[in-house]
């Protein structure tokens, strides 16, 4: 009975995840994520580099409305929320800031350099996970080694890209670095919300983040004059809105999939998955838009592949980690029932803790 309480009902666009093996859960969520963001990458490369439109705040604003519309089509309403609105204020501020800085950085960095910078977020995600209340994550040594290999590969790639691409500047580096820190905090905060309130759905997380985040986008758009410039440019080229809506629909699939990964596997594992996706997107960008690929680029990508392979190594003691996780959840999820139910619940917690203290054979 205790183990049943540990598993929360999760589904992805009508596909039940709860009753499936872990590897199937991972495959389904990762496939949705890869599809959504591969399409997103192609659309961004076209809009920013081919059309020379660099209105990151405005594009994020438009796509947030598309998210809200698609979530309503999925049948979600605010009445289904399990967390208060204030929970999502901090989350939305970080999310919108990250989106805006990421999209804005494309005006200063070419797309492959931008996605490789973003891939380094696995390190700050792992570091921040040790300090976020409700998580206190501790990772094995091979996962830190994996992350370091990724970072080394990204640095080598970035140096090579700076030599071959004219669209690379310190302003872009600062913008993407800010987005990187925000992303690291964001992933751990989302995992903490799923952990402390297991009934939270992916649709609630995305809906509330988008709705609360919309007002955060208005001041930077007005202060920088981007709102009026973007409106004028897009009015002259209305087909851009078609690309934006298509991109938002694909990204919506990716966003819901990544929230599923965070809820089921945690922020650090999700960060590794996003790194793999960005490497694939990078290669597609070179193939589709015929950019020069040097030996230094190849070395960087090889180190990234080594880091991902190291991450796939199984944990030596998975049972101990999972039972500890459940013990923490059990302590957090206090029942609002009568005294007898509370007594039984406390006995279940003590049983889990006693089991955790036993030596593993």
Global confidence as pTM: 0.69
- Return the pLDDT at 66: 92
- Return the pLDDT at 224: 80
pLDDT by residue (tens digit) across 212-262? 888 888 888 888 888 888 888 888 888 888 888 888 898 899 889 999 888
Other CB atoms within 10 Å distance of the CB of residue 290: 8
Q: What distance in Å separates the CA atoms of residue 194 and residue 218, rounded to the nearest whole number? A: 29
pLDDT by residue (tens digit) across 292-350? 777 877 888 788 778 877 776 665 554 333 333 433 444 444 444 445 544 554 555 55
Other CB atoms within 10 Å distance of the CB of residue 38: 17
- Angle (deg, nearest 10), helices 111-119 and 267-289: 160
pLDDT band, residue 285 (cuts 50/70/90)? low
Other CB atoms within 10 Å distance of the CB of residue 335: 11
Q: What distance in Å separates the CA atoms of residue 100 and residue 175, rounded to the nearest whole number? A: 9
- Return the pLDDT at 114: 66
The answer to whether the CB of 137 falls within 8 A of the CB of 268 is yes
Mean pLDDT check: name the lowest of 1-10, 140-149, 311-320.
1-10
The contacts of residue 336 (CB under 8 Å, 6+ apart) are none
Judged against a pLDDT cut of 60, whether residue 282 lies above it is answered with yes
Structure-model confidence comparison of residues 120 and 282, the more confident one: 120
The answer to whether the CB of 21 falls within 8 A of the CB of 271 is no
- Return the pLDDT at 270: 84
CA distance to 72, 114, 140, 279, 294, per residue, from 283 (Å)? 35, 13, 30, 6, 12
Phi-psi region of 225 (alpha: psi -120 to 50; beta: other; left: phi over 0): left
Q: Residue 170 — φ and ψ, nearest 5°?
A: -65, -30
Percentage of the chain with pLDDT > 90?
Answer: 4
pLDDT band, residue 196 (cuts 50/70/90)? confident
Q: Give the torsion through C-alpha atoms of 233, 239, 245, 249, to 10 deg.
A: -140
- Return the pLDDT at 146: 82
Domain ranges of the chain: 21-312
Structure-model confidence comparison of residues 52 and 109, the more confident one: 109
Q: What distance in Å separates the CA atoms of residue 93 and residue 228, rounded to the nearest whole number? A: 23
b/e map 301-319, b = 16+ CB within 10 Å: bebbebbbebbeeeeeeee
Q: Which range, 44-53, 119-128, 215-224, 244-253, is most confident?
A: 244-253
pLDDT band, residue 164 (cuts 50/70/90)? low
- Return the pLDDT at 40: 81
- Return the pLDDT at 319: 37
- Return the pLDDT at 67: 92
pLDDT by residue (tens digit) across 73-82? 888 888 888 8
- Return the pLDDT at 195: 86
Q: Residue 108 — φ and ψ, nearest 5°?
A: -120, -25
Q: For 47-172, list the strands marked E by DSSP.
A: none
- Rg of the chain's alpha carbons, rounded to an integer? 21
Judged against a pLDDT cut of 60, whether residue 166 lies above it is answered with no
- Return the pLDDT at 121: 75
Q: Calculate the average pLDDT of the chain.
A: 75
Q: What is the mean pLDDT of residues 30-39?
A: 86
Structure-model confidence comparison of residues 14 and 26, the more confident one: 26
The contacts of residue 36 (CB under 8 Å, 6+ apart) are 250, 251, 252, 253, 254, 255, 257
Tokens of 274: 């996003």
- Return the pLDDT at 316: 56
């Amino acid at each position: 009975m205790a183990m049943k309480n540990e598993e929360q009902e999760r589904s992805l666009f009508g596909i039940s995840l709860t009753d499936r093996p872990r590897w199937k859960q991972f495959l389904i969520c990762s496939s949705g994520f890869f599809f959504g963001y591969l399409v997103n990458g192609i659309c961004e490369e076209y809009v920013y580099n081919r059309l020379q439109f660099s209105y990151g705040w405005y594009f994020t604003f438009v796509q947030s409305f598309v998210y809200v519309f698609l979530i309503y089509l999925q049948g979600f309403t605010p009445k289904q929320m399990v967390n208060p609105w204030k929970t999502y204020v901090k989350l939305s501020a970080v999310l919108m800031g990250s989106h805006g800085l990421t999209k804005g950085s494309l005006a200063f960095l070419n797309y492959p350099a931008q996605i490789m910078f973003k891939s380094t977020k696995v390190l700050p995600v792992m570091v921040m996970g040790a300090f976020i209340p409700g998580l206190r994550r501790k990772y094995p040594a091979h996962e830190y080694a994996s992350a370091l290999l990724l970072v080394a590969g990204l640095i080598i790639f970035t140096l090579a890209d700076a030599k071959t691409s004219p669209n690379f500047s310190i302003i872009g580096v600062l913008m993407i670095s800010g987005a990187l820190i925000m992303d690291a905090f964001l992933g751990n905060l989302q995992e903490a919300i799923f952990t402390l309130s297991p009934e939270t759905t992916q649709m609630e997380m995305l809906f509330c983040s988008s709705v609360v985040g919309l007002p955060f986008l208005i001041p930077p758009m007005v202060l920088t004059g981007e709102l009026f410039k973007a409106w004028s440019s897009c009015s002259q080229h209305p087909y851009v809105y078609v690309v934006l809506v298509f991109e938002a629909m694909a990204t919506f699939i990716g966003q819901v999939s990544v929230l599923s990964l965070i809820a089921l596997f945690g922020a650090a594992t999700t960060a590794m998955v996003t790194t793999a996706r960005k490497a694939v997107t990078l290669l597609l960008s070179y193939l589709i838009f015929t950019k020069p690929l040097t030996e230094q680029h190849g070395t960087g990508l090889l180190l990234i592949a080594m880091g991902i392979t190291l991450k796939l190594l199984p944990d030596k003691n998975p049972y101990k980690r999972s039972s500890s996780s459940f013990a923490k959840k059990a302590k957090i999820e206090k029942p609002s029932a009568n005294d007898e139910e509370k007594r039984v619940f406390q006995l279940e917690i003590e049983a889990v803790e006693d089991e955790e203290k036993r030596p593993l054979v």
